[in-house]
Amino acid sequence: MISVVIPTYQEAESIQLALRRAANALGRFGEEFELIVVDDASGDGTAELAESLQNELPVRVLRRAGKRGLATAVVEGWAMARGDVLGVMDGDLQHPPEVLAALAEAMRRTQADLVVASRYCSGGGARDWPWRRRLVSAAATHLAATVLPLRLSRTTDPMSGMFLVRARALDGLKFSPLGYKILLEVVAKGKIERSAEVPYQFAERERGSSKLGPPQIVEYLVHLARLALSTGQARAWARYALVGATGAAVNLAALYALAVRFRWPLALAAGAAIEAALLTNFFGNHWLTFSRRASGGLGPQLARYEMVCAPGAVLNLVLTIGSFRAGLPLLVAAAIGIVADGLVNLTLNIPAIWRIWGSPLP
């Protein structure tokens, strides 16, 4: 049985259509299902409208006393669910309910524990989104993958609010949901061995208004930090930082030795020193951060690592040489290059670097 939770806060204008379309889609898929509306005292008749469909459709309604947040609504809905497959979908029709059938179909076909409706895999998207919203969404997604690369390298849209997950993958799990993004908890803590994705178009909101504002953004950041601490990600981060610091030391020491002791031309010495640091980082991470988890052999892994890190390395080289020519002491010039290199990798490349060692989407 598939149990889909639909959290609502003031969705009177869309809830009935959302329920009808969801029931239609799942009905055609053929498996038994239930729709669980979790309403937070909307006061606009959302709960009553959902209840009025109860003798027509397999709908249940949980009314909560105050507005207590999207993620906790989902968890409470799942707690009363009867299905062995749990799901979630927005109640405002921005998630086309028909995608539920595609998710169920993908779960049956791939035997995945988790199937996510994604805007960011091929075929997905968010039509009509203003560029500002696109930017915020892309930044939030990238930030999540940067803070939690250990687990989030598995899905292209960890922000998605529409997905199906097998109940057994969440068995005995202690959720501490905060704010909006329940999928973060599921991916970070769930026993997900195999996951899949289905593309979808995030529709424009036609009625009502989004409940996403600055308080939700702060909650989101706190949520990410908390997940990093509770999933072992923080430990992986500490190792990664230690390796990075070692690489920086190797860079400086090698540059000094080659340029000053052996009197190599600066460009050659700096290039060799940066490459020595890259190799230090690669093997350091291989053994320490990722405890030798191989995926596709060391050679190809190193090649991918060099490719991902190349832009930062080139920047490092240019800044080192430029700063030295501008009159700075050699090691200060090198430090400027190293810091810039590190920042580029930290802000842009963490998900890609982690993916070199992490399990790719099965």
E strand residue ranges, 167-234: 195-199
Structure tokens at 323: 């700063």
Closest distance of CB 359 from ligand GDD, Å: 24
* Nearest residue (CB) to ligand GDD, 160 versus 323: 160
* Nearest residue (CB) to ligand GDD, 38 versus 338: 38
How would you classify the pairing of strands 33-40 and 59-64?
parallel
Integer Cα distance of 251 and 269 in angstroms: 10
- Per CB under 6 A, 185 contacts ligand GDD: no
- Per CB under 6 A, 100 contacts ligand GDD: no
* Nearest residue (CB) to ligand GDD, 4 versus 269: 4
Q: Please measure the distance between the N-terminal and C-terminal CA atoms of the chain and give it in whole angstroms.
A: 25
For residue 43, which of 8, 83, 90, 94 has the smallest C-alpha distance? 8
| CB-based contacts of 157, cutoff 8 Å, min separation 6 | 116, 117, 118, 119, 120, 121, 124, 141, 197
Map residue 240 onto helix, strand or coil.
helix
- Per CB under 5 A, 11 contacts Mn ion: no
* Nearest residue (CB) to ligand GDD, 92 versus 341: 92
- Per CB under 6 A, 159 contacts ligand GDD: yes
Query: Which residues in the 207-236 window bind ligand GDD by CB under 6 A?
Result: 210-212
Q: Which helix (H) or strand (E) holds 39?
A: strand 33-40
DSSP per-residue string spanning 84-153: SEEEE--SSSSS-TTHHHHHHHHHHHH--SEEEEESSSTT-B-TT--HHHHHHHHHHHHHHHHH-HHHHT
- Per CB under 5 A, 34 contacts Mn ion: no
Q: Is the dihedral of CA 332, 243, 359, 158 positive or negative?
A: negative
Q: Sketch the per residue contact string, 66 through 95, with Mn ion: x for CB under 5 A, - otherwise.
A: --------------------------x-x-
Closest distance of CB 127 from ligand GDD, Å: 13
* Nearest residue (CB) to Mn ion, 120 versus 202: 202
Contacting ligand GDD (CB under 6 A), which of 160, 251, 316, 320? 160
* Phi, psi at 37, each rounded to 5°: -85, 125
* Nearest residue (CB) to Mn ion, 220 versus 282: 220
Closest distance of CB 282 from ligand GDD, Å: 34
Q: Which helix (H) or strand (E) holds 280?
A: helix 266-284
Query: Which residues in the 305-324 window bind ligand GDD by CB under 6 A?
Result: none
* Nearest residue (CB) to ligand GDD, 58 versus 125: 125
Closest distance of CB 203 from Mn ion, Å: 9
Query: Which residues in the 53-92 window bind ligand GDD by CB under 6 A?
Result: 67-70, 73, 90-92
Residues that bind Mn ion (CB under 5 A): 92, 94
Residues that bind ligand GDD (CB under 6 A): 7-9, 11, 38-40, 67-70, 73, 90-92, 94, 137, 159-162, 180, 202, 210-212
